[in-house]
Amino acid sequence: MTGVLEGIRVLDYGRFIAAPWCSAILADMGADVLRVEKREGGEDRWVQSVTDSGEGGTFLQCNRNKRSLTLDSTTEQGAEITRRLVARSDIVIANMPAAGMRASGLDYDTLRAIKPDIILASATAYGEGGPYSDRIGFDGAGQVMSGAVYRQGLPELPIRTVVPYADFGTALTLAIGVMMALYHRDRTGTGQHVESALLPTAMMLSNAHLIERDLLGIDKPRMGNRGASVAPCDLYRTADDQWVLLQIAGAPMFKRWCRLVGRPELFEDPRFADDDLRWQHGDLLNDLMADWCAQRTKAEVLAALMDAKLPAAPLHSTQDVLDDPHVAAMGYLQRVPFPGAAHDVPIIETPFRMSGTPGSIRRRAPLLGEHTDEVLDEIGYDPGQVARLRADGIV
């Protein structure tokens, strides 16, 4: 089946997550994405190594469906290769501060001088135009500076999440912007610069906390796994030393929960008249639920909660996820072979599904420079010229 973005060419200078995951989504949808790396490989290639040759798990996820070209773009010959690549491309994606973009010849003015309708998609830590714009930062910077980590964790210890949601969220917002820019270009013939950043993405995801603080002048305390605005809500330990999540919101759910735990009178108790009041008295409700769960196995707890139509879920280990029958039935993880991996690698599918033009994983992440000769041939270099470029350390 033809991908909806077939014929779109993308130059990917991204590293780590924000830019590479954006370009991976475009690649899933049929775009020809070329990852341009230093001759020794981008540093993100080797983080969290899981293969014999050193590629990391996040690299394998974020770089499927791409080709790899190694290039020293600081040389005159390398700059010429870059110009030829830009001239035939639709989109350039990178994540680095503006100064680094200019130094690499990847700033918007330089790119559109080569290709007037080019779309530049850039991801940064803080966004361009402010006092922090020249700073570098990873996902954690967005988390801790958004106010979210201030509100999460234990009473005595703020805790950032191990899941890099600011990075992946920035990738998704950048992909949305790129698609809007492509749509605009199709209508007008004009390219543009699309920007996304870790800090505003993290602020978007935690905006309600900022609104609450601004309008009500309060910051609710850190409460571990308990709910920030509703109760009962927590992870509860079961009799067989497992954990189950329950989140109750709204009067109908609360009424069903009261019946389930044998305390129907709580529904008429003025202390629990709405979600805010239930949160304020959440210790009592959470303690009741904790006691109820402690007398039952995980299977018994989940069965009862599901029968009562209450939103509950088991705490999965990473192995539990790999073994989950729903994950298997839905095909959320695609098994993709990779040289040097112990066996086929479980790679998450395209994070949305389309009935007519679905995304797909057509090829594994590339080995370092795996497609260098192929790409150079496409832009007019003959085998002798490629051999000289290799001998000179350009590719």
In three-state form (DSSP H/G/I as H, E/B as E, the rest C), the secondary structure along the chain is CCCCCCCCEEEEECCCCHHHHHHHHHHHCCCEEEEEECCCCCHHHHCCECCCCCCEHHHHHHCCCEEEEECCCCCHHHHHHHHHHHHCCCEEEECCCHHHHHHCCCCHHHHHHHCCCCEEEEEECCCCCCCCCCCCCCHHHHHHHCCCHHHCEECCEECCCCCCHHHHHHHHHHHHHHHHHHHHHHHHCCCCEEEEEHHHHHHHHCHHHHHHHHHHCCCCCCCCCCCCCCCCEEEEECCCCCEEEEECCCHHHHHHHHHHCCCHHHHHCHHHCCHHHHHHCHHHHHHHHHHHHHCCCHHHHHHHHHHCCCCEEECCCHHHHHHCHHHHHHCCEEEECCCCCCCCEEEECCCCCCCCCCCCCCCCCCCCCCCHHHHHHHCCCCHHHHHHHHHCCCC
Catalytic residues: 167
Report residue 25: phi and psi, to 5°. -65, -45
**Count of residues making up the chain:** 395
Strand partners, 194: 121
Q: Which residues contact 25 (CB under 8 A, 6 or more apart)?
A: 171, 172, 175, 350, 351, 359
CA dist 146 to 140, 175, 213, 350, Å? Answer: 10, 21, 13, 28
